[in-house]
Amino acid sequence: MRLGGAGGPGPLTRRAVAFVEAGGEAPSSDPVGDALVLAGRLAGERPFVGEGGTADLWEALATLAAHDLAVARTVEPHVDALTILHQAGRDALAPEGSTWGVFAAEGPGVRVTATEGADGSWNLTGTKPWCSLAGRLSHALVTAWVSDDERRLFAVDLGDPGVHPSEAWAALGLPTVPSGPVDLDGVPAVPVGDAGWYLRRPGFAWGGASVAACWHGGAVGLARTLLEAARRPRSVDDALLLQHVGAVDVRLDQARRALATAAAAIDAGELDGAAGAIEAARVRGTVSRTAEDVLRHVAHALGPAPLAQDPRHAQRVADLELYVRQHHAERDDASLGRKVRDLAEPW
């Protein structure tokens, strides 16, 4: 899937296309395993945001997402982690073939504390919420409190006996990508960047736009089902169906343009710091609305039949409905509104 621009698809997108074509029409019996193998093999392609190939990376993620959101949902945090390690100058922490997650959420009543030993080594103890695939990944970047008011990022080997993932996951969407709490009990950890660097680093917001590229791909996957329906001979000139196709096309075009513009600006070095945070929030707001609108249009156009009879369509809908909730809707709008209010001349 292309976001625009001249020339052919980049190396990451070509890999994603090959992956999708190899999968073919039969759903995989282990989509997460497929995705982890793919993710582990992407490191050599330097899949970093902000190094000139951002559009290629987002096209690759969108391509995977249009095929199977669980695959994109698995690959996206991995490339986010590799980008963070690269920005910190710590690429060497990722062994060949390793698979990474980024566990940076905070939750009510839980906390992970980092403790430095006398020999300068660190270990982590506490409970981290929202740790996707903690039971299947080899490594993760984990934020932990080093004082009452400051967090630091650490690299952790998830094979350590002190790592205890929870298997609880009731979601109907992304059922193969459980995202539960992990208990850490004195787990050895390697600091990545200084205290506070994770949130301050250039490009903290870019990873959030990579997630939006996945939502966009998910919306395209659903829209393709709508398009197929509109192209059936018996649907010829079905005005209501075509209205939905047109409305969906407008939404997808908005999302595509938002992503393409942001990718070019990130690679041009124009979106560091506050400008990056605002632009990423706009992209996420635009693409999340596209996803919600496409879900509604496709549902209204096609009715209950594909939801009830087409397992891949039903799964796509459930996956996208859950994944797009990583955008916190009105809360994220309010957060953006605060930033816009304080700009001298936002528009």
Cα-based distances in Å from 233 to 238, 257, 306: 10, 32, 18
Per rule CB under 8 A, is residue 136 in the interface with other proteins? Answer: yes
24 binds other proteins (CB under 8 A): yes
Q: Is 254 in the site for other proteins (CB under 8 A)?
A: no
Q: Which is nearer to other proteins, 54 or 98 (CB)?
A: 98
Q: Give whichever of 174 and 320 is closer to other proteins, judged by the CB atom.
A: 174
The residues with which 125 forms a beta bridge, in sequence order, are: 113
| Alpha-helical runs (H) found in the chain | 11-23, 31-42, 54-67, 69-87, 197-200, 206-231, 239-267, 273-302, 304-309, 311-323, 329-341
- Comparing CB distances to other proteins, the nearer of 101 and 218 is 101
Position among 64, 124, 137, 230 found at the interface with other proteins (CB under 8 A) = 137
Does 99 engage in binding with other proteins (CB under 8 A)?
yes
Q: Work out whether 29 is an interface residue with other proteins (CB under 8 A).
A: yes
Query: How far is 139 from 157, CA to CA, in rounded Å?
Result: 5
162 forms part of the interface with other proteins (CB under 8 A): no
User: What is the distance between the alpha carbons of residues 193 and 191, in angstroms, rounded to a whole number?
Assistant: 6
Output 164 or 257, the one with its CB closest to other proteins.
164
Residue 26: both structure tokens together: 């039969």
Question: Should residue 95 be labelled a site residue for other proteins when binding is judged by CB under 8 A?
Answer: yes
Cβ proximity to other proteins, 39 vs 230, nearer residue: 39
Contact 133, 169 (CB under 8 A): no
- Residue 343: closest CA among 281, 295, 269: 281
Site membership for other proteins, residue 158 (CB under 8 A): yes
Q: How many CB atoms lie within 10 A of CB 254?
A: 16
| Cβ(91)–Cβ(155) below 8 Å | no
Interaction between residue 194 and other proteins (CB under 8 A): no
From the CB of 151, what's the least distance to other proteins, in Å? 25
User: Which of 14, 28, 166, 190 contacts other proteins by CB under 8 A?
Assistant: 28
The Cα–Cα gap between 185 and 183 comes to 7
The answer to whether 161 contacts other proteins (rule: CB under 8 A) is no
Residues numbered 35-74 forming contacts with other proteins, rule: CB under 8 A: 36-37, 40-41
The interface region with other proteins, picked from 46-54, 108-116, 135-143, 297-305 by CB under 8 A, is 135-143
DSSP-derived 3-state class of residue 249: helix
Task: Identify whether the C-beta of residue 190 lies closer than 8 Å to the C-beta of residue 122.
Answer: yes
At its nearest, how many Å lie between other proteins and the CB of residue 136? 4
Give the DSSP H or E segment for 102.
Answer: strand 100-103
Smallest distance, other proteins to C-beta of residue 32, A: 8
What residues pair up with 113 in beta bridges, in sequence order? 125, 145
Question: Is there binding between residue 180 and other proteins (CB under 8 A)?
Answer: no
Is 311 a binding residue for other proteins by CB under 8 A? The answer is no
> Judged by CB, which is closer to other proteins: 138, or 254?
138
Sign for the CA dihedral angle at 65, 105, 296, 209 comes to negative
In the complex, minimum distance from the CB of residue 298 to other proteins, in angstroms, rounded to a whole number:
24
Rg (CA), the chain: 20
In single-letter form, the type of residue at position 14 comes to R
The 8-class DSSP code of residue 119 comes to T
125 binds other proteins (CB under 8 A): no
Interface with other proteins, residue 107, by CB under 8 A: no
Q: How far is the CB of 89 from other proteins (least distance, A)?
A: 22
Query: By CB under 8 A, which span of 50-58, 136-144, 255-263, 277-285 interacts with other proteins?
Result: 136-144
Q: Which of 98, 143, 210, 225 binds other proteins (CB under 8 A)?
A: 98
Q: Which amino acid is at 312?
A: R
Per CB under 8 A, residues contacting other proteins are 22-26, 28-30, 33, 36-37, 40-41, 95-99, 135-138, 158-159
